[in-house]
């Protein structure tokens, strides 16, 4: 196929002109920063100008100062924590079998590995996140992430450095133990960034593709988590919601949704009378 040939040609150029270390560390960091800020900044702009306000989950918005603080801290965390982690984890990934050579893996292999990563990451993230909501860890670590009770896209990675390392393990453990091709690792990273940015975007758009995935934790699911105190929050899942459903930590959220649905139905009946 022409598209496959184009991708392979592009990848051939990369592996010819850059070393494995440069692609895996610096290339991954550049890709992450590009995807993260290009997907997250539009939600900051929407909040500032008030566009699509009818789709905003919460009525209140963050101040310009709070938004700027988030961006400055993010740059410090990304260069001071994320980049060093990528550099120091490179030998581990190479030891576990990560490759960057041609031929590229088949789409079946890529899809199977990414599905495995999502399932494993959901399980580890749920328990790690739930532990962070215990009293001491919340007060000293996780409360940084909850400084923004009204999240916007970029707040998805706003967290204490210790939390970045702690929960970051959930994201990299799958690729670390399977030793995937670098292309698979990059695709997984892009999907994970886009998913977390959407979960924190603060808007519930009816046309979002995520609305059509079963058991997917959409923005309203995670927004509920940010609005409540740590002892009562629930909704600890990362991508999908089945862990919260299994362990009953989404009861408050489901009750609230049921009450809202009942209120909408009552309002509709009154209008028809």
What pLDDT, in 10s, does the model give residues 191-242? Answer: 999 999 999 999 988 888 788 888 898 899 999 999 876 666 789 999 999 9
Q: What is the pLDDT of residue 51?
A: 85
Residue 135 domain boundaries: 2-197
In a domain, 139, yes or no: yes
Q: What is the pLDDT of residue 213?
A: 83
In a domain, 149, yes or no: yes
* Residue-wise pLDDT tens digits, 117-166: 999 999 999 999 999 999 999 999 999 999 999 999 999 999 999 999 99
Are the beta carbons of 116 and 7 closer than 8 angstroms?
no
In a domain, 205, yes or no: no
In a domain, 82, yes or no: yes
Are the beta carbons of 194 and 200 closer than 8 angstroms?
no
- In three-state form (DSSP H/G/I as H, E/B as E, the rest C), the secondary structure along 18-64 is CCHHHHHHHHHHHHHHHHHHHHHHHHHHHHHHCCCHHHECCCCCCCH
Share of the chain above pLDDT 90, in %: 73
Q: What is the pLDDT of residue 37?
A: 97
In a domain, 43, yes or no: yes
In a domain, 247, yes or no: no
In a domain, 131, yes or no: yes
Helical H segments across the chain, by residue range: 2-17, 20-21, 28-49, 64-77, 83-95, 107-132, 135-140, 161-178, 182-199, 219-227, 242-247, 251-272
Lowest mean pLDDT among 148-157, 175-184, 258-267: 258-267
Assign 1 a pLDDT band (cuts: 50, 70, 90): low
In a domain, 268, yes or no: no
Number of domains forming the structure of the chain: 1
Assign 262 a pLDDT band (cuts: 50, 70, 90): low
pTM above 0.85, yes or no: yes
């Amino acid at each position: 196929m022409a598209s496959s040939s184009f991708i392979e040609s592009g990848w051939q150029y990369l592996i010819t002109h850059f070393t494995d270390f440069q692609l895996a560390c610096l290339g991954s960091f550049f890709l992450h920063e590009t995807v993260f800020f290009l997907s997250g900044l539009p939600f900051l702009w929407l909040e500032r100008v008030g566009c699509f306000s009818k789709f905003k989950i919460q009525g209140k918005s963050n101040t310009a100062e709070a938004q700027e603080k988030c961006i400055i801290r993010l740059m410090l965390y990304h260069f001071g924590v994320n980049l060093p982690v990528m550099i120091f984890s490179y030998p581990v990934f190479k030891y576990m079998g990560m490759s960057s050579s041609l031929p590229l893996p088949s789409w079946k292999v890529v899809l199977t590995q990414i599905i495995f990563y999502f399932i494993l990451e959901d399980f580890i993230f749920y328990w790690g996140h739930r532990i962070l909501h215990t009293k001491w860890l919340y007060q000293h670590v996780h409360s940084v992430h909850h400084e923004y009770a009204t999240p916007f896209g970029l707040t998805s990675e706003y967290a204490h450095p210790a939390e970045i390392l702690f929960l970051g393990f959930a994201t990299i453990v799958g690729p670390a133990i399977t030793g995937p091709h670098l292309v698979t690792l990059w695709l997984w990273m892009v999907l994970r960034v886009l998913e977390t940015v959407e979960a924190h975007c603060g808007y519930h758009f009816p046309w979002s593709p995520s609305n059509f995935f079963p058991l997917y934790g959409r923005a309203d699911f995670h927004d509920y988590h940010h609005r409540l105190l740590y002892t009562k929050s629930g909704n600890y899942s990362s991508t999908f919601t089945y862990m919260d459903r299994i362990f009953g930590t989404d009861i408050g959220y489901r009750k609230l949704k049921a009450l809202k649905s009942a209120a909408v139905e009552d309002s509709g009946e009154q209008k028809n009378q």
